[in-house]
A and B are shown apart, each in its own frame.
Chain A
Amino acid sequence: QITLKESGPPLVKPTQTLTLTCTFSGFSLTTSGVGVGWIRQPPGKALEWLALIYWDDDKRYRPSLKSRLTITKDTSKNQVVLTMTNMDPVDTATYYCAHSEFGSGSYHFDYWGQGTLVTVSS
């Protein structure tokens, strides 16, 4: 059974750096083809893909946010960490992590975490 859960601060100040952790179970990020992605959703708005990390440590970023995003993995802890620098109120959103098998040609997210709401405000 695959599960994912996001954790991180519910409130960050403008210009600060956000660090979110995705802790997962039921799969390994050392398995060929597996990836974990981050997707966010501002209140009342659409989903927006942010980043993805593959089993082989290859990484992909949303082009418009690439300079602010870093995705890393810790396979020993079954965790993926996303950092976003220079936070702004427009970054207020629910942040989701999700499992995929992009590396196997399956470009969809089949298991999602429950999401964590991050508010950016002074």
Chain B
Amino acid sequence: QSALTQPASVSGSPGQSITISCTGTSSDVGSYNLVSWYQQHPAKAPKLIIYEGSKRPSGISNRFSGSKSGNTASLTISGLQAEDEADYYCCSFAGTSTFVVFGGGTKLTVL
């Protein structure tokens, strides 16, 4: 059960936009529009910020957006703010056998 592949770290300056990729396979990301993204601040529980590829839960800023192309999903954060500095994890449904797979996580640093 391989994890989805994310870059270990990304960085950006306040006001800029960044994109975090999440690469899977045709058995998970590529087969289902069921990628979710979670934000995790240090010593805190993960928080859902994107589900079903591009939908935002109530209360999540529209600065967060999600997309997918082939086997790769992406999270874009626009208008970077200091409070966006956190770890970000993607997750995908992977069929009835593997079921759920998470990415390795990406540390976002706001310079």
Q: Could you list which residues of chain A lie within 8 angstroms of chain B, going by C-beta atoms?
A: 37, 39, 45-49, 52, 60, 62-64, 96, 106-110, 112-115
Q: Is the interface of A mostly helix, strand, loop or mixed?
A: strand
Residues of B within 8 A of A (CB-CB), count: 26
In the assembled complex, 18 residue pairs joining A and B whose CB atoms fall closer than 8 Å, in A order, are: A45-B105, A46-B102, A46-B104, A47-B91, A48-B102, A49-B99, A49-B101, A64-B1, A96-B46, A107-B32, A107-B34, A107-B36, A108-B34, A108-B48, A109-B46, A109-B91, A110-B51, A112-B45
Contacts of A96 in B (CB 8 A): 45-46
Question: Do A107 and B100 touch (CB < 8 A)?
Answer: yes
Q: How far is it, in angstroms, between the C-alpha of A46 and the C-alpha of B48 when the chains are bound? A: 15
Which residues, 32 to 91 on B, are CB-close (under 8 Å) to A? 32, 34, 36, 38, 45-48, 51-52, 57, 89, 91
